[in-house]
Structure 1
């Protein structure tokens, strides 16, 4: 299985809601599209961005991939061993 952000081949992927569930649960609306990403990318996305920004500005794979902080992370993580646990840094 391939991560939709870093494109590494992974044994396991996690489901990322492009519009955070927090924004749709209270309004009882469909949580919308999801993407399958690796744990490292998922943790880094939530470390970099709050749910409001994710919902309003970074709600597609393309927008996430082209966000400058994520671009730097993806360039680095794509070269890492897929078996290695990646430490996430909270740089906002």
Structure 2
């Protein structure tokens, strides 16, 4: 992949230069138990920061542990509708 290649965030679907890896089951829940860290998704930093601003790791592990569940969560739906309209090159402030 070239240096300026853009990839699509799996949550907001914006084209971004750099994506982050989000563990659908937080690593804190699997690392201590020496379990497989499980599935990951590639998402933009704005979506990643918003997830962790809104939800604690316990809730993420038990209830929001798939891409579909995250996308269907009402607070995330509201954020995703807004962030999709934002410039992918601009840093997005996240809010609780």
With the shorter chain as reference, the TM-score category is over 0.9
Partner residue in 1 for 2:77: 71
How much does 1:61 deviate? Answer: 0.4
CA shift digits 1:33-56 (9 cap, x unpaired) = 000000000000000000000000
Q: Which runs of 5+ in 2 are unaligned?
A: 1-6
Aligned length: 90
Partner residue in 1 for 2:9: 3
Partner residue in 2 for 1:27: 33
Partner residue in 2 for 1:39: 45
How much does 1:6 deviate? Answer: 0.2
The separation in 1 between residues aligned to 2:44 and 2:93, in whole angstroms, is 13
How much does 1:20 deviate? Answer: 0.1
Q: Which runs of 5+ in 1 are unaligned?
A: none
**TM-score, normalised via structure 2 length:** 0.93
- Structure showing greater radius of gyration is 2
Root mean square deviation of aligned Cα: 0.3
After the TM superposition, list the runs of 4 or more consecutive aligned residues in structure 1 that deviate by more than 3 angstroms. Answer: none
